[in-house]
Structure 1
């Protein structure tokens, strides 16, 4: 898999994460200049 395809896959997964949550955070873990992990921390707001 070339670098352009890897970046495209990362952006697609990031977009899916953003679309599926209302409140929270997404953390990108970088090692040697490359994204190796994405973490999603979602908050539930109780009204």
Structure 2
């Protein structure tokens, strides 16, 4: 069987940090929102705005 991963409060995995950084690099204008529940990041929302000239 697989290893059971126990997440401690306020702990974020390296994989999740990489995904957040990847989101930061991929947008020029917009926002990134972290959704936190019980001290754990459970969702990352990315909104990108496109500026028209």
TM range (shorter): 0.7 to 0.9
Say how many residue pairs are matched.
45
More helix by share: 1
* Aligned CA-pair RMSD: 1.4
Which structure dedicates a bigger proportion of its chain to strand? 1
Between structure 1 and structure 2, the one with the greater Rg is: 2
Q: Which has the higher contact order (CA 8 A, sep 6+)?
A: 2
For structure 1, the 5+ residue unaligned runs are none
Unaligned segments of structure 2, at least 5 residues:
none
Q: Runs ≥4 in structure 1, deviation > 2 angstroms?
A: none
